[in-house]
Structure 1
Amino acid sequence: MFEEFMGIPAHPLVLHAAVVFVPLLALLTIGYALVPPIRPHTRWVLGLLALGAPISALLAKLSGDAFFDRLRAANRVTPEFAPTIEAHQEFGDITLWATIGLAIVALALVWFVPPRAAKARAAEASAAEASATDDARPSRALTLALQVLSLVAAGIAVYYVIRTGDSGAKAVWTGQ
């Protein structure tokens, strides 16, 4: 299923979605966490990216595994070169898990850290409603923890996207 698309190996086609969506998710997660004025404008986009980026990473991994199995079955992978591809696969596995972790942090931000507009509406509400809204707001500690987690998760995800792409490119172009 993940082997070919219209006669072309699917992996080189599919991986570009992960190369775009994972860093975009990382950038938008950091922006949402640290720049409150953009929250009302990016909340839904961040939520959708948090769903799409892990799916694109999963499709890249599955298509890569199918591509490697196809090459191995056709005896197009030498025993000396197999460890290079397997190292690339390991980076891809870590990228998938890092992307899932980043997506969880992004969804937690969307869920627990409201956009600024919610604070403005709460200020306009009656005193009783405003106090109820204050109780519903996340604590400063939770917001700070999610901000730190977003920085760490974004850094890890982008690092492994780069490492995975670099190892794959070297395998294809230089045979290293």
Structure 2
Amino acid sequence: MLEEFMGIPAHPFLVHAAVVFIPLLALTAVGYAFVPFVRPHLRWVLGLLAVATPLAALMAKLSGDRFLARLESRNRVSPEYVPRLAEHQDLGTTTLYATLLLGVLALVLVFLVKPKGAAAPATTGDAEPGSAPAAAKGSPVLTVVLGVLSLAAAGFALYYVFRTGDTGAKAVWEGQ
């Protein structure tokens, strides 16, 4: 795990990827779910963000754990400061889980809610010529359910990334 970058703890650098990617994933997933005409343009972007964002959150979490362990091993944390850092660490864990949930839902959206005009699988049988099967377009009910779940997961992830960042910033700026 990357612990330092040019002599500076890696956590402050890696956190910025999560802080940027989580809101991007949230907005892209909600847009993909509820705005059909953007789906062809956002499909690959959403798929890439759904994979990269949880990885960014994981890297931020792991580097934060290492940073805290390093501070504690060097006795650089006063006892009254530990609860603030523990709260920040717990919120970081929740942010990681929220981001994983949002990433999984985003991937489900990409695979189950196809953009209009997406290539339909070849069918045999009674389908009318020129009409795409219902499975290729995605069920409207499935789309709404996944949209609502994605909206909830996006709100959850945004709330926790904000809370985590706020507690981390206050810990740094208000001091030990």
Give the ranges of 4+ consecutive aligned residues of structure 1 lying more than 6 Å apart after TM superposition.
none
Instruction: Tell me the secondary structure at the aligned position of residue 81 of structure 1.
Output: helix
Q: Report how many aligned residue pairs link the two structures.
A: 171
Q: Check the 8 A contact 1:11/1:64 in 2, yes or no.
A: yes
Cα distance in structure 2, aligned partners of 1:160 and 1:89: 12
Deviations 1:66-101 (Å, cap 9, x if unpaired)? 000000001000111011001000000000000000
Letter in 1 for 2:29: T
Q: 1:151 — aligned with what?
A: 151
Q: State, as a whole percentage, how many aligned pairs show the same letter.
A: 59
1:157-176 matches, within 5 Å, as 157-175=157-175
The answer to which structure has the higher helix fraction is 1
Task: Name the TM-score, length of structure 2 as normaliser.
Answer: 0.91
Letter in 1 for 2:168: G
Cα displacement (A) at 1:129:
5.9
Q: 1:44 — aligned with what?
A: 44
Q: 1:110 — aligned with what?
A: 110
1:8-87 matches, within 5 Å, as 8-87=8-87
Q: Check the 8 A contact 2:116/2:137 in 1, yes or no.
A: no
Cα displacement (A) at 1:7:
1.1
Cα displacement (A) at 1:14:
0.4
Cα distance in structure 2, aligned partners of 1:33 and 1:145: 9
Cα displacement (A) at 1:130:
2.3
Q: 1:95 — aligned with what?
A: 95
Cα distance in structure 1, aligned partners of 2:29 and 2:16: 20
Cα distance in structure 2, aligned partners of 1:32 and 1:138: 13
Q: Check the 8 A contact 2:118/2:136 in 1, yes or no.
A: no
Structure 1: gaps of 5 or more residues = none
RMSD over equivalenced CA pairs, Å: 1.9
Letter in 1 for 2:146: L
Structure 2: gaps of 5 or more residues = none
Letter in 1 for 2:81: F
